[in-house]
Every structure is written in structure tokens, then in C-alpha cells.
Structure 1
């Protein structure tokens, strides 16, 4: 089996979600540091245009979106399970909410002037301008990742208060008694808020949430080795895509081999073109060719991604 390669950057909260998961599962993996803003030519050679962070690569298979990456890693390394049978539904639904609604609140809260000053202090004025322009382009005409600050503040306080009460009642994890994917999805929100230094004081009223965070943080990042992007591209070029699910939903209007595009439905709506290989209730897989990466299978979750005829 080729190495697990995570295309990520150090300050990416969704990258931190997967880094911590790799640590919890005690996995060895390789890290490719990618730019936080466009252009990302080495990543795009693998994904065909998908620009969100992180992206996971295993040989010539490219996995987009942490919702799918978590499922793939859980199949590869089942312990500890991310979807315990007794709380699988609750874990998945809560993780999705933490990754969307709560993350929107976390971004809005963190990107107040005091938070921006702390988060972007390492950048030059020109780099800050480029970063802001890039994120504006990612959002497009939508208000994704933005809400009124009072609403964001209220959502965070209500969430942390309910978690504080749950932990006080002796429930050790977010979705129930067992560790699950929901814990990792909550974790990266708090990790992001804590990076805003002074604004992290919002957590002081919730000591049991902070204790839970410390327990999660102790998992670390596993066994990581940093490699250059060229090595990752060579891995794709010199491996064949893995055997894949050949399901095509009969009522989808598509057939295997159709030329399609796959596009996120919320933000960063950059379409990826390829040949349809899988269209199930859970996964979309397309095959694409790239001069640098060769033939690759690019995988997306079915939810929140639109499949259209190319």
C-alpha cells in the first residue's frame, strides 16, 4: 500500500482535524505543505481544480473533503472507530454540523479585528491583501463562512454551555460515551479559536470543555514525515488507482464513462472534470489524466457536491 500523503498547511483548521485523527489512529503519514492561497499548481495537478485544504492522497487515489477522508481512514485503521455503532448516526450528524454551522460561527468570531491581528501577524501587508482577496473569491457571491458577529458569539456560547453540562453529567465525548468523528470536528473549531489568542478567553467559562480539548490534543499527530510536492506527484504517476466501487445509481441520469464535472455546492465552487467511475449514495469518483500525475481517481463525498454533464 502506498503511503498516506496529506496535502495541507500548518494553520489550516481542517488539516488539524485530520492530523489529530492520524495521531489518534497511530498512523504514519507524509505531509506536503501547500500554499494557503491560489495558485496551487502541484495540488491542482492531482485534483483537477479542487482547492480546499486538506486533500489526502494514497498513490493515484485523491480524496477530497474531510468528511470522506475520515471514512477512508476509518476503513484503513478501524481502531479507535470513528462511527461506533451505538452512536454512528449522532456522530455523523454532529460532525457535519460542527464542520459547517459551527465552523461558520468560529470563523466569524475569530476574524474580529483582535483575532485577525493575532492570526495574520506573521504576514506582510501585501500577503494579507492577497489572503483576503483569495478568501473573498472562495466565498464568491454567497455569504458562506460569514454570519453576524452577535449570532456567531451566541452560537458558540450555547454550544460550549451544552457541552459543559454534558461533560459534567459524566459523558466523556461529544456524541456519547465513545470517541467518534464528532470529537474531531468539534476539536478543529476550538483549535482555530485558540489561535486567536485573546479571543480564546471565550472558553474560560467552560472548564470541562477545556479539559476535553486537552484530552483530545494529547493524541498528537502520529508519525509524520515531510516530503516535497514532486515526490507526491511521482507517487501518483508510478501507481495505478486502487480498485473502486463501480456503482452508478440507476436513477441518477448518468452512466459509467460519462464526461462530468463535480463542484462543491457551498463555497470554493471550482469544478473538477473527468470520467465518471462511481456515483453512489455516499461517493462520487471520477478518473482524470494529468501530464504530471498520470491517471488518477479523484473521490468526493456525494453530499454537498453537484455532478453535472461536462
Structure 2
């Protein structure tokens, strides 16, 4: 498996009563397929994985796998704070149709780098699914260092890393490890252009939930080294990327999706976007609709 291009970390749409809106889920998935998205993540942090029941997780993944029908990879978020539980969930995800496991560094427990090596090797050795490392220390309290990634990258079942730290030095260190069997993916929309122009394979994106056409074009330009065009589109997208961080993820992106008719809320302790940002959200939704339309016309 070689992951590349525009990969969407899917939000999980809910109804006004707080149930999963499976009709909206299907429409979100279909919009990604139609736009040329090159992979999707089910039940990652953007998907509010911690707020899902086991049955809901299974239903979302099975439904996604069925709709996608192997046209693009389906990654399942399976990273938990305990290695044995992560292995168990990864096995279940494989049975439910996932193509790979996105395994975040164990949240909250803050293992050593030696512990991280043992953790990821145990998950990969089990062999249920190819493993994508996921480093997002701002959420987990644990930083997967490049030297540790270098120890893990040669494992035949560890196929990529999603790196959410934005520093160019971090990306440069990881790109030195990139190869045919190990992809390097940005996990940070605002710096994804810089990462891909430097050689990263793609981005696992939050914003692409709402503007999948533009994000596919964005990735195509950057990965082809078409710097001027990529940077021009990046400049258009930066206000949207900034908005996506105005409150904790996935609050802002779900506000945009709600304006697109996909889902109506979040689960506590996350709450809907503050009323003070409503006008900004309206403006961003209009901007996204315009960019999506312009991009689709330009690509036709």
C-alpha cells in the first residue's frame, strides 16, 4: 500500500437529537468519491472517535467500506492508550472492511520513545492491517520523534506517518525516511503545501471534508512541483485553514458541513461553534462554495 494525495479525515455527522446521521454520512462519503479524494479516515479525532459507541464505530466503518468498495483506501482510527486494546480494535477494523489502521501515539499515558517503538511494532507484528503512524503531540501529550520513526519505518507493515507538527525541520527529518514502502503525509492543512512541495506524499486533511475538489487540485499541483500554482491556491485556502482552527477540531469544520446540509451538531464535551463566529462561518461557507465551483470549472 502506498498512500498519497488528498486524504480526508472524515467528520461524523449527527442528527439534531445526537444520533449518527447515516444518510448524511453516505452523502459525505459520496461527495469525497465524486471529488477524487484519494483516501478517507473513519473514526479519527476529526470523526469524534472517543464519542462513538463500539456499535457506532462498527456501523460507520462497515458503511464506509461498502460505499467506497475498494476504490480508495479506507483508514480506520484504531489508536488507543493501551497496546492490547489497540491490537484488538485493529483486528476488528480489518474484519469490518478497513484497508489500513491510523494509529495515534497512545493518548495521555506519555510513553517513552522505547515504549512507542514496542507499541507500534506489536500492532504491526500482529498483522491485522497496515499501520500508519500518527503524531499529534498537541492532542496526545506525546511526541513521536524522527529517530523513533527511523526505527519503525523499515517494518514491512508500517506504511506511512501522518505528521501534524508544522515545523519545516520536522518534516525535513521525516522526508529523509521516505521510500517506496513508507509514505510521509502532512497532518496540518496550513503547512501542507510546503510539505508536499518538499516531497511529502500528501495530506490527511480536515478542510477537505468541506472542499474536496479544491483539496484534490491543491495536492495534485503541489505533488507535481507546480509551485506557483500550488502556492496561489494555498493562498486562497489559508483563510479557510485558519477558520478550521478558530475553535477545537472538529467544531469549525462541522459548522461548515452543517451549512452544506451535512449533520447538525457534536457530542459533549464538544459544543457547536460559538455564536460570535457565526458570521465568519457564513462567509467561509460562501468562500468554500465559490472555490469549489471555480476549481471544478478549471479542472474540467
TM-score by length of 2: 0.28
Indicate the structure with greater helix content. 2
- Rg larger for: 1
With CA pairs under 8 Å and 6+ residues apart, which has the higher RCO, 1 or 2?
1
Indicate the structure with greater strand content. 1
